[in-house]
């Protein structure tokens, strides 16, 4: 019987991904960290590099323009970016473990063929769940989606939404049937051009300022029923499934951050 290898062991393909990310982080990202932190924005060169290297569509199938890799590679990319800049790693984590995964697992064929190529090419995604009154209990949300004919009209506010300023595709959770409690929660794809979607103030943070966390306002935001992810009332299960995977991505981000901190501390200790 072949002995089981340690979880830290990388096969040849995974090692190549790791090397590619390390090279990008050290040559393209490192020199721009201070500038991005001060300007509170991601540098155009960095964002373009993330897409050009396939880091924003790691698990997007190759026939949709993505890298066609696995969740393991996603975690490798997140970890190695976080070693240099955990802010950028956070953006990549949300893109891959939440938004891309949502479309891959829960969207129909038409939505996949329409959205996945955008996410792999140049579209940043944003996960819109939290509200001011429903942080730790996110499913006590007040945002509603009223069905009128072939459309849903979404009204509500979201808070602390990552990637909001940079995103063009928003995964919005709203309750389409409040009488059912969390069983009425539904997931919608809302694109930035929608006149009912407005980006609010950017939150001031102690760090991780290269990427945004913003308020999001949905005011008479009309969305066609074809923009539902999965089916009406499935939003609760979708969110739980995605967050379970996203938390592993956050763990990879923290491992990378710890490695980066150690890399900075050791030379000082030996002085």
Question: Is 267 in contact with 144 (CB distance < 8 Å)?
Answer: no
- β pairing state of 185-191 and 169-175: antiparallel
**pLDDT of 242:** 96
First to last CA, the chain: 48
pLDDT band at 139, cuts 50/70/90?
A: confident
**pLDDT of 149:** 97
**pLDDT of 140:** 85
pLDDT digits (tens, 9 = 90+) for 231-269: 999 999 999 999 999 999 999 999 999 999 999 999 999
pLDDT digits (tens, 9 = 90+) for 14-64: 999 999 999 999 999 999 999 999 999 999 999 999 999 999 999 999 999
pLDDT digits (tens, 9 = 90+) for 160-215: 999 999 999 999 999 999 999 999 999 999 999 999 999 999 998 999 999 999 99
Helices assigned H by DSSP within 83-197: 86-93, 101-106, 109-121
Mean local confidence (pLDDT), 93-97: 97
Summary mean pLDDT of the chain = 95
**pLDDT of 135:** 63
Residue position matching structure tokens 């590619």: 20
d(CA 73, CA 54): 11
pLDDT at 133 over 90: no
**pLDDT of 130:** 93
Mean local confidence (pLDDT), 139-163: 95
pLDDT band at 136, cuts 50/70/90?
A: low
Mean local confidence (pLDDT), 79-95: 98
Q: Model's pTM, two decimal places?
A: 0.94
3-state secondary structure of 223: strand
Mean local confidence (pLDDT), 79-107: 98
């Amino acid at each position: 019987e072949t002995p089981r290898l340690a979880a830290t062991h990388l096969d040849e393909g995974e090692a190549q991904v790791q090397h590619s990310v390390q090279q990008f982080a050290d040559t393209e990202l490192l020199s721009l960290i201070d500038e991005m932190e001060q300007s509170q924005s991601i540098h155009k060169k960095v964002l373009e590099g993330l897409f050009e290297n396939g880091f924003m569509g790691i698990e997007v199938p190759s026939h949709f323009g993505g890298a066609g890799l696995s969740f393991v590679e996603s975690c490798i990319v997140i970890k190695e970016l976080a070693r240099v800049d955990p802010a950028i790693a956070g953006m990549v984590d949300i893109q891959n473990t939440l938004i891309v995964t949502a479309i891959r697992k829960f969207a129909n064929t038409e939505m996949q063929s329409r959205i996945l190529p955008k996410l792999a090419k140049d579209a940043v995604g944003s996960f819109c769940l939290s509200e001011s009154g429903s942080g730790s209990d996110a499913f006590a949300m007040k945002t509603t989606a009223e069905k009128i004919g072939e459309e849903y009209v979404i009204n509500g506010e979201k808070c602390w939404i990552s990637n909001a300023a940079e995103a063009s595709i928003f995964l919005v959770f709203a309750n389409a049937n409040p009488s059912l409690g969390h069983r009425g929660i539904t997931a919608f794809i809302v694109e930035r051009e929608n006149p009912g979607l407005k980006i609010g103030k950017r939150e001031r943070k102690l760090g991780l300022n290269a990427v945004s966390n913003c308020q999001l306002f949905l005011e008479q935001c009309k969305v066609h029923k074809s923009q539902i992810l999965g089916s009406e009332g499935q939003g609760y299960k979708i969110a739980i499934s995605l967050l379970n995977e996203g938390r592993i991505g956050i763990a990879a981000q923290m491992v990378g951050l710890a490695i980066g901190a150690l890399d900075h501390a050791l030379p000082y200790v030996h002085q």
